[in-house]
Amino acid sequence: METILALAIGVLTGSGIWLLLRPRTFQVIIGLSLLSYAVNLFIFSTGGLRTGAAPILERGEAGSLAQYADPVPQALVLTAIVISFATTALFLVVMLAARGLTGSDHVDGKEQDS
Amino acid sequence: MQPLLASPLLIPLATAAMTALLWSRPVAQRVASVAGAAALSIATILLLLEVAGGPPLVGRMGNWPAPFGIVLVVDTFSAIMLAIAGLKALAVAVYILGSGRASRDRRGLHPLFHGLLFGVCGAFATGDLFNLYVWFEVMLIASFGLLVLDGTRDQVEGGIKYVALNLIGTSFFLIAVGLLYGLTGTLNLADLARTVPTVGNQGAVAAIGLLILVAFGAKAAVFPLFSWLPAAYHTASMPVAAIFAALLTKVGVYAIIRVFTLVFGYDTGFFGPMLTVVAMATMVTGVLGAAAHYDVRRILSFHIISQIGYMLVGVALMTPLALAGSILYIVHHIVVKANLFLIAGAIKREGGSFALGRLGGLWAAKPLLGLMFLIPALSLAGLPPLSGFWGKLAVIRAGLEAEAWLLAGVALIVGLLTLFSMVKIWNEAFWKPQPNPHPVIPLGRMARFGTYAPIAVLCVLTMTIGLWTEPFAALSVAAAEGLLDHDAYIAAVLGPVQAATLTETTP
Amino acid sequence: MKPTLILRSSSALLLWCLVAVSVYVLLRGHNAPGGGFIGGLIAAAGVAVYAVSRGRAAALRMLRLHPAALCGLGLLVAAASGLPAFLDSAAAYLTHRWWFPDVGIQLPLGTPLLFDLGVYLTVLGTVTAMFLSLVEK
C-alpha cells in the first residue's frame, strides 16, 4: 500500500507542478489543487498506514497501538482540506474577475506576442 | 490573566465580525473599526507590561494539556510584536477615516482589515506549528481580499500572482509539517524544541529546516523568493499597503526567528552560514531594485525587501546582541515603513501622483509634509539620532563582534544606498519645481485629521525610539534573552513535571 | 437561459428540505457530535439552488441578512462560545462548559453546540457570498 500511495503522491505533485508552470490561470488553479491534494495525502501518510483501524477509542476498550490509527494527521488533513477549499474558492472568484477585466485567461493578463 | 492572553485574538475577531454585521452602514463600521483597533492596542500594551522580562504566559486552549492541545504562548518577543501590531492597527484605522473611499467600505475593507489583524496576532501568539499554518492562511485570505479591494485590473493581476506564489510556499510548509510530525510525533513548538535535537536522522531534520526556511522565506520575501512582493504591493491602496508593509512580511520574519531559534537553534553551524548569505543577498537585491525605480510605491516596496535582510542578521549570527538588534530593527521598521507608505498616500493626495517624474514643489507647498517625510526617511537610512540608527548600530556591531566582516560591510553599504533612494524621493517630489501644475483639491477637516494625525504620531514615535532608546533597547535585549533561553520556554509550556515524565514511547 | 418552471417551483421546496437536513446534521454531525461545517455547506447548497433558479436578487431577499453579515454573526457566536470558560478564572479560552437542564429528559447543552452554530452560520455566509458573486458574472 505504501508504494501505491507514494506513487499517487508523486504523480499528483508532478502533474500539479507541470500545470503550475503553464500560462493559463485555469491550469494554475488546477495545478495548485493537485499540489494541495498531494500534500494532504502526504500528511495523511505520516501517521502510518493502517487498514481497518479506528482513530477513536471505543468506550470501555483498552486502547492498543496495534489496532489504532493516529488521529492527529487525520485532523491536520481535515483542516488543510477546509482551508485549501476556501482559498481555492476565493482564487476562483478573483480569477473570473481577472478574466472579465482583461479579456484573457493568461496569467500576465495579455496574450504573449509570438 | 487568561482573558488578557486571549484578547489579542478575540478583539480583532469580534471587530471583524461586528463590522461584517454592519455591512451596509459605513459610518457605524468606521466607528467600530477604530474602537476595535484602539481596544487591541490597549490590550496588547497591557499584555506587554505583564509579560516583559518575565517567563512566557501560556494558555492551553480548551484546557487540553500541552503537547496534545493547541497552546498560545506569549513571551517578551511575541508581546513586543503584538504591541507594535496593535499600534499600527490603530494608526491605519484612523488613516482610513481620512483617505478611505466609500466604495472600499462597501466592499468589506473593515472586516478584511480586522481579519488580517486576527491572523497576524494569532501567528504572533501561537505555540504550535500547525496552528501557525492556520494563521498564515487566515492572513493570506484576508490580505488577498484587501489587495483586490478596488477591483482594478492591476490589483487583480497582482493579486493572482500574490496568492499563487504564497500557496506554493504553503505547500512547502505543509510538507515540512508532515515530515516533522512523522519524525517526532508532535507539532507543539516547545515539544519540538525538546525532541528535535534527539532525533537520530539529523539529515532529515536539516531537510525539514530548509523546507521551512523556503516556506517562511516566501512569506517574509527574502532573496530569492521575493518576486510576489513588488508585483503586488504597489497596486494596493495606501492604507492597505501600509498595513501590509508593516505586518505581513514581518510575520514571516517572526516565524523564521521563532522556529530557527527555538527548534533548529541547536544547529547554528548548518543554518547560520545559509541565513547569513540569504540576509546579505536580500539586503543587496532589495536596495538595488529600489535604486532602479521612479515610482514612490515601488521604491518603498523594494526597501521592505532590503530591510528584511537586516532582520535576519540576528537569527543568522544567533548571538544575544544580534538578536536584540534584529528585534529593535523590526520595531523601528514597522513604525517607519508603514509611516512612509502613509506619507506616500499623502503625497499622492497633495501632489496628484505616485510617479516621481510628475511630482515636484511639495516642499514649497507643504513644508510640514516635507518635514514629516524626512524623519522616517532618514531614520530608514539609519542616520543618528533617529530610530533606525540604533537598530543598524546593534546589528552591525554584532556582525563585527561575530567577525562576520562581509555581513557588517554589506549592511553599511546598503544603508548608504538606502539614503540614496530616500534623497531621490526628496529631490524629485519635494525639492524640484512642480513640472505641470494642476489644481489641488483642498482636503476636508476630517480627511486632514485622518491623514496627518497618524503620520505625526508615528513621527513622534520614531523620534522617541531614537532619542530615548533606553527602554526599547532594554526590552529588545530581554526579548533576545528569552528567545535564547529554550529551557524556560519549554518549562512554561510543558511544565517541569511533564518534561520529566514524557519519555520516548515509540516502538 | 431561463430556468424551467419545474426547477423554479421546486427550488423553494428543495431549499427547505436542505435546511432541515442541515439542521439535523448541525446537531448530529457525521458521527454523533455536531457538524457545523458540513451543515453550513448543505444549507449553502440549498441557497445555491435557489439562486440559480430564481436569480441573485431573490436569493438575497430570501436571506434578509447580507451573506457577509451572516458570516460576521457566525464568527461572533463562535467567539462568544469560548467566553463562558472565563467564569472559571484558571480555565483557558474555549474550555467546554455544560448544562443539563431537566425537560423530561436530561438535555445536554454545552458551549460546543454554540461553537458549531457559529461555524454553521460562518460557512453558510462565506459559501453563499462566494457563490452569489459567481452567479453575478
Mean pLDDT for B85-90 is 92
Between CA B308 and CA B233 the distance in angstroms is 15
Q: What is the pLDDT of residue B504?
A: 45
Please check the confidence at residue B503 and state whether its pLDDT lies above 50. no
Residue B358 burial (CB < 10 Å; 0-12/13-18/19+)?
Answer: middle
- Listing DSSP states for B216-267 in one string gives HHHHHT-TTS-THHHHHGGGS-HHHHHHIIIIIHHHHHHHHHHHHHHTSGGG
A100/C130 Cβ within 8 A: no
How far off is chain B from A97, nearest CA to CA, in Å?
7
Q: Which residue of A has its CA nearest to C41?
A: A82
- Whether B17 and chain C come into contact, CB under 8 Å, resolves to yes
A34: in domain? yes
Q: Which of residues 67-126 of C touch B (CB under 8 A)?
A: 68-69, 71-76, 79, 82, 85-86, 89-96
Confidence grade of residue B242 (pLDDT, cut at 50, 70, 90): confident
Q: What is the pLDDT of residue C109?
A: 76
Count residue pairs from A and B with Cβ separation < 8 A. Answer: 92
Q: What are phi and psi of C108, to 5 degrees?
A: -80, 110
Q: What is the pLDDT of residue B189?
A: 92
Compare CB distances from C76 to B17, B60, B108 and report the shortest one's residue: B17
Mean pLDDT for B275-302 is 88
Confidence grade of residue A12 (pLDDT, cut at 50, 70, 90): very high
- Whether B22 and chain C come into contact, CB under 8 Å, resolves to yes
Confidence grade of residue B79 (pLDDT, cut at 50, 70, 90): very high
Confidence grade of residue B100 (pLDDT, cut at 50, 70, 90): low
B160/A90 Cβ within 8 A: no
Within 13 Å and on the Cβ side, how many CA atoms surround A89?
Answer: 16
Structure-model confidence comparison of residues B203 and B440, the more confident one:
B203
Residues of chain C with pLDDT under 50: none
Which of B160, B211, B235, B505 should we substitute to test contact with A (largest number of A Cβ atoms within 10 Å)? Answer: B160
A22: in domain? yes
User: What pLDDT, in 10s, does the model give residues A36-94?
Assistant: 999 999 998 888 787 777 777 777 766 666 677 888 888 899 899 989 988 888 888 88
Mean pLDDT for B362-372 is 82
DSSP class of residue C109 equals E
Interface residues from chain B to A (CB-CB < 8 Å): 130, 133-134, 137, 140-141, 144-145, 148, 151-153, 156-157, 159-161, 163-164, 167-168, 171, 174-175, 177-179, 181-182, 187, 507
Please check the confidence at residue B251 and state whether its pLDDT lies above 90. yes
C37/A90 Cβ within 8 A: no
Count residue pairs from A and C with Cβ separation < 8 A. Answer: 12
How far off is chain A from C41, nearest CA to CA, in Å?
11
Between CA B132 and CA B353 the distance in angstroms is 39
- Whether C127 and chain A come into contact, CB under 8 Å, resolves to yes
- The overall average pLDDT reported for chain B is 86
Mean pLDDT for B249-263 is 92
Confidence grade of residue B425 (pLDDT, cut at 50, 70, 90): confident
Residues in C touching A82 (Cβ below 8 Å): 37
Q: Which residue of B has its CA nearest to C65?
A: B21
B61/C92 Cβ within 8 A: yes
Cis bond upstream, residue B496 (ω within 30): no
User: Smallest Cα–Cα separation from C93: which of B49, B472, B6, B346?
Assistant: B6
User: What pLDDT, in 10s, does the model give residues B16-41?
Assistant: 999 888 887 888 888 899 999 999 99
User: What pLDDT, in 10s, does the model give residues B326-339?
Assistant: 999 999 999 998 88
Contact predicate B263/B196, CB 8 Å: yes
User: What pLDDT, in 10s, does the model give residues A16-27?
Assistant: 999 999 888 889
Provide the ipTM. Answer: 0.91
Please check the confidence at residue B426 and state whether its pLDDT lies above 90. no
Between CA B19 and CA B109 the distance in angstroms is 9
Q: What is the pLDDT of residue B403?
A: 84
Mean pLDDT for B221-231 is 84
Write the secondary structure of A1-20 as one string of H (helix), E (strand) and C (coil): CHHHHHHHHHHHHHHHHHHH
Q: What is the pLDDT of residue B5?
A: 87
Please check the confidence at residue B401 and state whether its pLDDT lies above 50. yes
Please check the confidence at residue B77 and state whether its pLDDT lies above 80. yes
Which of A56, A88, A93, A94 should we substitute to test contact with C (largest number of C Cβ atoms within 10 Å)? Answer: A93
Q: Which helix (H) or strand (E) holds B58?
A: strand B57-60
Which of B63, B74, B113, B131 should we substitute to test contact with C (largest number of C Cβ atoms within 10 Å)? Answer: B63
Q: What is the pLDDT of residue C1?
A: 58
Judged by average pLDDT, the poorest of B49-63, B156-170, C31-45, C60-74 is: C31-45
- What Cα–Cα distance (Å) separates residue C79 from each residue in B7, B10, B19, B64? 11, 7, 15, 18
A72/B167 Cβ within 8 A: no
Please check the confidence at residue B502 and state whether its pLDDT lies above 70. no
Which of B116, B152, B153, B156 should we substitute to test contact with A (largest number of A Cβ atoms within 10 Å)? Answer: B156
Domain coverage including residue A26: 2-49+71-102
Cis bond upstream, residue B433 (ω within 30): no
Compare CB distances from A42 to B151, B157, B178 and report the shortest one's residue: B178
User: Smallest Cα–Cα separation from B113: which of B89, B81, B86?
Assistant: B89
Please check the confidence at residue B13 and state whether its pLDDT lies above 90. yes
- Whether C6 and chain B come into contact, CB under 8 Å, resolves to no
Q: What is the pLDDT of residue C136?
A: 66
Strand partners, B60: B71
A82/C137 Cβ within 8 A: no
Between CA B296 and CA B358 the distance in angstroms is 11
Q: What is the pTM of this model?
A: 0.91
Q: Which chains touch B (3 or more CB pairs under 8 A)?
A: A, C
Compare CB distances from C86 to B2, B14, B61 and report the shortest one's residue: B2
Please check the confidence at residue B72 and state whether its pLDDT lies above 70. yes
Structure-model confidence comparison of residues B140 and C105, the more confident one:
B140
Residues in C touching B5 (Cβ below 8 Å): 92-93
Count residue pairs from B and C with Cβ separation < 8 A. Answer: 70
Between CA A58 and CA B107 the distance in angstroms is 49
Domain coverage including residue C77: 5-136
A100/C134 Cβ within 8 A: no
Between CA C45 and CA B157 the distance in angstroms is 30
Strand partners, C106: C102
